[in-house]
Amino acid sequence: MAIVDAKEMLIKATEENYAVGAFNITNLIQMEAVVDTAVRMKAPLIIQTSVTPSKFLNAKVLANIYKTMAESAPIPICLHLDHCTDVEYCKTCADAGYTNIMIDASKQDFKNNIRQTREVSDYCHGIGGISVEGELGTVSGVEDQIKVAQDEAALCDPEQALEFVAKTRIDIFAPAIGTAHGVYKTKNPKLDFDRMEKIFKLINGKGVKMPLVVHGGTGLQPDVVKRLVSLGGSKFNVSTDLKHVLIDATYGYITSHREEYNPGKIDIAVREAIMAKIEYWIDLLGSAGKA
Ligand SMILES: [Zn+2]
């Protein structure tokens, strides 16, 4: 039985200095490709959905497919709701069977962010078996329907971070350190590594209590990814990269087989492309063989 929440999986990752890939999926083909690759590589896994696909496919349907896959998988797998700004929908997904919930109240003021995040923490912990991710500071770019301009994105204040994690009782923490959603406009985006290090030391200096999350993995250079992992990032979110693979592989197959009407073959092409991409990320994050 490999249905787990994210906390324990990520504490182990932090202590052993690797990161777990948290891969956004929008359909069943992607979900199976992600799970099969992680199983083959013996890597712990976080499957994520943002709110739109979760509503489109139905949270209960998704959670039940996840349960069926995870129960028979020999690796720990967590189902995570990504960037949900709506407290009530966080609760809906917790009830449906998601095992990690991200309440993203990072656009609210500090007090309201704490209040909303705490409400979701209390609710999920009341059910049991569900961990909660909160965010402080904002990640620029577009994720699902949430848009944050780069000049509006505020980095996480380390002292406030301490207060935030204590008052919200979250299990895993996403501090904004300059990463962005979508595609980076430059090859070397300005990331605040010192801030990441400071936040990690303040929160986890005396033993790992609160795993840290890195958002906006797509497009980061391999050495940057490795540096963020070495500074304590143990959940690494990858979304845009997988969307590109899905669409490019679909388009590529259809354009080169325009006379063929066999949807299963498109699925196979997409599945293979996704598996190759997931393999790249699991290798880079160092999680292969850690399950
Ligand atoms: Zn994100």
Average pLDDT, integer, range 197-225:
94
CB proximity list for 153: less than 8 A, separation 6 or greater: 137, 138, 139, 140, 176, 178, 180
Contacts of 278 (CB under 8 A, 6+ apart): 21, 23, 33, 34, 37, 38
**Cα separation, 228 vs 239, whole angstroms:** 17
CA angle 25, 30, 36 (to 5 degrees): 120
Q: Give the model confidence (pLDDT) of 71-116 as tens digits.
A: 999 999 999 999 999 999 999 999 999 999 999 999 999 999 999 9
Which of 136, 130, 98 has the alpha carbon at shortest distance from 117?
Answer: 136
Q: How far is the CA of 237 from the centre of ligand 1 (A)?
A: 7
Average pLDDT over residues 117-122: 98
Measured in Å, residue 85 CA sits from the centre of ligand 1 at 12
Tell me, what DSSP letter sits at residue 173? E
What is the whole-number distance in angstroms between the Cα of residue 217 and the centre of ligand 1? 9
pLDDT at 257 over 80: yes
Contact 123, 162 (CB under 8 A): no
Rounded CA gap, 286 and 229, in Å?
Answer: 9
* Mean pLDDT value across residues 138-160: 75
Write down the residue that tokens 């990463």 correspond to. Answer: 179
User: For the residues of 109-171, what is the DSSP string, one character each?
Assistant: -HHHHHHHHHHHHHHHHHHSS-EEEEEES--BEEETTEEE-TTT--PPPHHHHHHHHHHH--S
**Model's pTM, two decimal places?**
0.95
Write the DSSP symbol of residue 27: S
- CA 226, distance to chain mean position in Å, is 17
H or E segment and range at residue 37: helix 28-40
In percent, how much of the chain has pLDDT > 70? 96
Concerning whether 267 is annotated as a catalytic residue, the answer is no
pLDDT confidence of residue 141: 76
Give 257 Cα–ligand 1 centroid separation in angstroms. Answer: 35
Separation CA 72–CA 32 (nearest Å) = 13
pLDDT at 228 over 60: yes
Position with higher pLDDT, 147 vs 235: 235
Whole-number pLDDT of residue 253: 98
Q: Provide the token pair at 84.
A: 């949900």
Sequence-distant (≥ 6) Cβ neighbours of residue 218 within 8 angstroms: 182, 183, 184, 238, 239, 240, 241
CA gyration radius for the chain? Answer: 18
- Length of the chain equals 291
| Ligand 1 centroid distance, CA of 230 (Å) | 20
What whole-number distance in Å separates Cα of residue 283 and Cα of residue 272?
17
Q: Which tokens is 263 given? A: 């949807």
Q: Indicate which residue of 82, 104, 144, 241 is catalytic.
A: 82
Q: How far is ligand 1, taken at its centre, from the CA of residue 136, in Å?
A: 12
Residues 153-174, mean pLDDT to the nearest whole number: 94
- In the three-class reduction of DSSP (H, G, I as helix; E, B as strand; rest coil), residue 182 is classed as coil
pLDDT band (50, 70, 90) for residue 148:
low
From ligand 1's centre to the CA of 54, what distance in Å? 15
> Is residue 152 predicted with pLDDT exceeding 60?
no
